[in-house]
Amino acid sequence: MLLVVDIGNTNITIGLYDRDALIGNYRLTTWFKRTSDEYGFMILNFLMSSHVSAVQINDVIISSVVPKIMHSFTNSIRKYIGKEPILVEPGIKTGISIKTENPKKVGADRIVDLVGCYYSYRGNALVIDFGTATTFDYISKDGVFKYGVTAPGIGISAEALSSQCAKLPEIEIEKPKSILATETITSMQAGLVYGYIGSVEYIIQKFKEELHCDDMLVVATGGLGKIIAQNTDMIDIYDRDLTFKGLKLIYDKNKKEIHE
């Protein structure tokens, strides 16, 4: 079995593969002060809930954009799973070509999503990951990544609205039935969600215009992406497991060298 891990700024998501089948997925809050033992106990509990023991795990692959927790997290894998984790970093085989100005600075999460999209759907595609930040990354039908946009995530926008305006409360991120709000909570939700949908649609439109690619597939992922994807016709596919798929594909491309 394979454990796939994506460490983001807000959440750590963990997937469990039995051959090519994703049989479990788990999520925990990214917190800098956890020890390797705390991470280890959590991972073992996740496995236990899927009726899997640590000895059944053949390998672990990790993508991370949070260097501060890598020492504790990787030590937890060594101590409690008994494996040396494989890291998505420069030099690992991905099957795609990164042609940005500084390829080594591209986040591992973005690479993993692009791999998942390219090998799952093929063709020209725009991958939108709704995470702490919202990223828009274009990959060509030839597997070349060259253009990307980074925007504040919808969660960051909601937090900024309540924290920077003394009289505005924290709100749940949901789309009200109408933009014609009559009180504070729904007025904030309307501005946040309808406004975010509008900005996402505009960025998609500009990608299509400037790349002269009207038939570009638009694939969304990320925990907060579902609410946006459900409310626009400009997103073709919402794939919540895209990151897990990318990690599994990268592992498959490298496992022969790993075990030599």
Q: Are 236 and 242 in contact (CB under 8 A)?
A: no
214 tagged catalytic: no
H-assigned helices in the chain: 36-49, 70-80, 108-121, 154-164, 184-189, 195-211, 225-229, 242-258
User: What is the Cα–Cα distance from 86 to 4, expressed in whole angstroms?
Assistant: 10
Does residue 60 sit in helix, strand or coil? strand
165 secondary structure, DSSP code: S
Query: Buried b vs exposed e over 126-155: b needs ≥16 C-beta within 10 Å?
Result: bbbbbbbbbbbbbbbeebebebbeebebbb
Q: In the numeric block, which tokens belong to residue 41?
A: 């106990």
Among 6, 59, 109, 129, the active-site one is 109
Q: Are 25 and 3 in contact (CB under 8 A)?
A: no
Catalytic residues: 109
